[in-house]
Chain A
Amino acid sequence: MRLASTLFAGLAFALSSMAAQAEVRFGIMNESYPPFFAKDAAGKWQGWEIDMMDAVCEQMKEKCSIVELSWDGLIPALQSKKFDVIWSSMSNTAERSKIIDFTDKYYNTPSTLIGPKDQKTGATADDVKGKTIGIQVSTIQSEYYKKYFAKVADEKTYQTLDEAFQDLAAGRIDYVFGDSLALDAFLKSDSGKDCCAKMGDVADDKEVLGAGVSGGLRKEDTELKAKLNAAIAAVRASGKYDEITKKYFSFDIYGAK
Chain B
Amino acid sequence: MAKIIVEVMLKPEILDPQGQAVASALPRLGFNFAKSVRQGKRFEIEVDGEPSMDAINKAAEVLLSNPVIENYTVRVEK
Q: Do A and B come from one complex?
A: no
